[in-house]
Amino acid sequence: MSTDEMLLSPAPHCEPQLEGAASVRRSEAANVAAPHPVTGSARRRSTGGTPASIRRVVRASCPQVAPPVIDSSPQARRFTEQVLRLLLEVVDRRRSSSHLRAFADARVLSAISTMLTQDLVPARNLGTATLTSVKVTPAEDGAAEVFASYQRGPRTLAIAGRIEQSKDSWRLVAVRMF
């Protein structure tokens, strides 16, 4: 694609106006060049510029596999809610981290103890954390990705993690708090 087929225009100004914005606007107008005209047979594609032949090849090379279904999805969701509430209590220092030992992997426990010792808990100064929503998405057989949001004062924060099924129970094997 040659450069004379491109149409460029200045990006929209999204910041609030400053004091003395009139002088700033005049100087910006002097620096902005006129958009390049479109010449030749440039046509717009509804798919963002990807030709149909490339889309066909990509679609054919990607396997169309349905996500695996976890047979105990209600149990996974119940476990996730329980362990995330417990995690928030530990992070708020309302419980000891030893309470998580039965439900979480050693790496998760280590990460949580590091968060506590180095005071890296997100927005901890805003009050106690309250779990507001939980989503469990199957990742593969016997594993699921966990997404949750929680409230601290006026702020809404997030938790992401992974649970895996062992013999007859679930374990939290990864967690990240935002």
The pLDDT value given to residue 55 = 74
Long-range (24+ apart) CB contacts under 8 A made by 30-33 are none
Reduce the secondary structure of 12-72 to three states and give it as a string: CCCCCCCCCHHHHHHHHHHHCCCCCCCCCCCCCCCCCCCCHHHHHHHHHHCCCCCCCCCCC
Domains in the chain: boundaries: 73-177
Mean pLDDT of each 10-residue bin along the chain, 178 residues long: 59 65 49 51 56 75 58 81 95 92 93 92 91 92 93 94 90 94
What global pTM score does this model have? 0.60
Chain centroid, CA 70 distance in Å? 22
- What number does CATH give the domain 73-177? 3.10.450.50
Token digits for 161? Answer: 């993690």
Token digits for 150? Answer: 């929680």
The pLDDT value given to residue 16 = 65
